[in-house]
Each structure stands twice: as structure tokens, then as C-alpha cells.
Amino acid sequence: MRRRAKPLLQVDSHFAKSKPRRKHDPTQPNLALDPMPDRVEPCLALLKATPPSGLDWFYEMKWDGYRLAIHVEPRHVRIITRGGHDWTHRFPAIAASAKELGVSTAILDGEAVVLNEEGRSDFGALQRSLGGRGGKRASTESILFAFDLLYFDGHDLTRTELSVRRHLLADLLGDTVGAIRLSEEIQGDGAELLANACSIGMEGIIAKHRDSAYRSGRTGDWLKIKCIQSESFMIVGYEHSAVARGAIGSLLLAARRGDDWVYVGAVGTGFKEKDAAYLKKTLDTLRIRTPVVPLKGKNYVFAQPALIAEIEFRGWTDDGNLRHASYKGLREIQDNAAVYELD
């Protein structure tokens, strides 16, 4: 049974959505005017506290998964992670859908997710479908929500404005319900959209400037506004517990400040017994005597900074620790997750 994503706005909303598909003309010549790049460094969303205003912006759901680029080539399909790794074999359903798009060359930008029973993207479920961190499983239940088209029928679109790229993407994908779907564009008031997204349990929204070219990095052309803060932090150890399942009472977390690590608190909720057992086993192999952050504790076990955890939290305490933190899962090296940088 396929799960449909939760709508960001109510059914009776007057906001406009992406235009319906126009059938692709197979007789249109595919002229190789621009060489197809092996990889395009992704455009990243800049975190903001409130949505922008004005008609120059439109909005999408913020999906919680793995950023992927789908390279459709005449003889095969490649699925490339944000870190530049080829994970075609890890997402067979998405690769199969890409082959059915009816286009000879294209690069789609999107997010691979697994939807839960409520139609929301579930990062933990995606991790489990891949066999956990370092796992070798192929995710058969993941789908890709595509939100940009960087290359199409021999044409480099990265210098073209986003509104044109979105129009071509909607024309290519249409109303498909397979493993590749269109991430809907929604126009309207950003504050109302964010409130509705939060009310149905979504992570937040993405705002994009409709006239922007595709520029790599955090340029401000794309913005992310979150209902609940979620960032990546380095695990620098754990607190051993004789009573907790998996023997881990909490994970010790650090953020970056320049070239240094800064302790930002501990997280003791969100991981299951299986998660805790894996974390303890892995962290014990990374065990060090001197911590990378100035910490002392009778039951603390310190580790080399090698595991990156995605942490959901409600804000910061006055002394610089995470407030109401909850563990969501580990980030893969191939995902190229950026550890949170303190100002």
C-alpha cells in the first residue's frame, strides 16, 4: 500500500500548486548542445527563523531524507549522493522509475524519503530500509521527491531561472505516483504555510526564489524554515549506564567552532535498544583516553569524532547546550552531512 504525503495546506485552500503535466513530445530532437556533467554540486538551503515575503518566493515541503541527484543517460541511470558517491544499487525502485521517464538525458535533484503511516517523511525508517549506518541493504520502499531539473535533453539548465526549470520538471513528471514524484510547488503566505506544516507534524518548509539560477552552496536563493530544529552533531562519547538498554545512558555531542570542537550537551532519548547496542559497539572501537572536548565524568567513555548524529531539539539553554534533544539517527559519510557550526 502506497502512502501519500500529507498536504501542506488544507483542502479548501486557495493557493495555487504546480501546473499539470503536458505530454512530452518524443519527436523533439535531443540535440547534445551542452556536455552532461558527471556531477553538480548541490544548491543548499540557508536556515532562517521566518519565511520570506513577496511574490518572488514559492514554497515546498521540507523532506527529511537523503539528497540525491538522478543522472539519466542514454544507456543507464546513476544515483549520486550529496557527497558524490554512486548509490544506484541502494535505490533500485528510484532507478527503475528514472528509466521510465521517456527522456534520453536528464539530471533530477531531489530527496529520497520513506513515508510513515501519516504520510510524513521518516528519517529513521529510511535509515532502517538501508540497513542502518554502514548497512548494505537496498531500500525498496524509498521514493524520490524531485524538486529541480538541472539538465534536460542535452541542455544545461543551471543558468536558467528556477520557474522555467520547475515548469520543465512538472512537464516531465506529471502526476506520477511511482518511486519518483514531483515535490509540489505552493504559492501563498509563508507564515500560514509554515503554521499548517507544523500543525500536521511536518519538519518545516523550503522557500525558493523563483528567478534564481542553480548555484551550488548556501547562497540564500533557497531558505529552510523549520517547525522543530534538527541539525547534525558529532558524537564524542557516551555515558555508560548499568540500567539503560544497550548500556548507553546518553550520547555526548559536539559542534564545530572553526577548527575546534565545542560540547553542546547530551542526548538520552530517541534511540532504541538495537540503536544503542550498535552505537556502543562502534564507539568502543573509537575509544580514546583524552576527550576532544573538556569533559569529566565518572561513567563517560570518550571517542574519536567519527560518527555524525542527526539530532532534533527545541532550542538552546543559556549555557550553550541543546534543549529537549532527541536522537533521530546516524548520517552516512556518503551523505556528506555538515556538522553544525557555532557562530
Residue positions annotated with a catalytic role: 62
Cell numbers standing for residue 192: 500560514
Scanning the structure block, which residue is given the C-alpha cell 529513521? Answer: 124
Nearest-angstrom CA–CA distance, 113 and 93: 12
| CA–CA distance, 182 with 121 (Å, rounded to integer) | 15
Nearest 10 degrees: Cα torsion 273, 274, 276, 277: 110
- Residues shown for the chain: 343
C-alpha–C-alpha distance, residues 307 and 331, integer Å: 8
Which three cell numbers, joined as nine digits, stand for 318? 543559556
For the CA atoms of 251, 125, 71, 213, the dihedral, rounded to the nearest 10 degrees, stands at -70
Q: What share of the chain is helix, strand, coil (3-state, %, to 5)?
A: 15, 35, 50
User: What's the rounded Cα separation, in Å, for the pair 235 and 266?
Assistant: 9
| Phi, psi (degrees; rounded to nearest 5) at 247 | 70, 10
**CA distance linking residue 144 with residue 177, whole number of Å:** 10
Distance, in Å, from the CA atom of 319 to the CA atom of 262, rounded to the nearest integer, reads 12
Q: Backbone phi, then psi, for 320, in 5-degree steps?
A: 85, 20
Burial class (CB within 10 angstroms; exposed 0-12, middle 13-18, buried 19+) of 312: buried
Helix, coil or strand: residue 336: coil
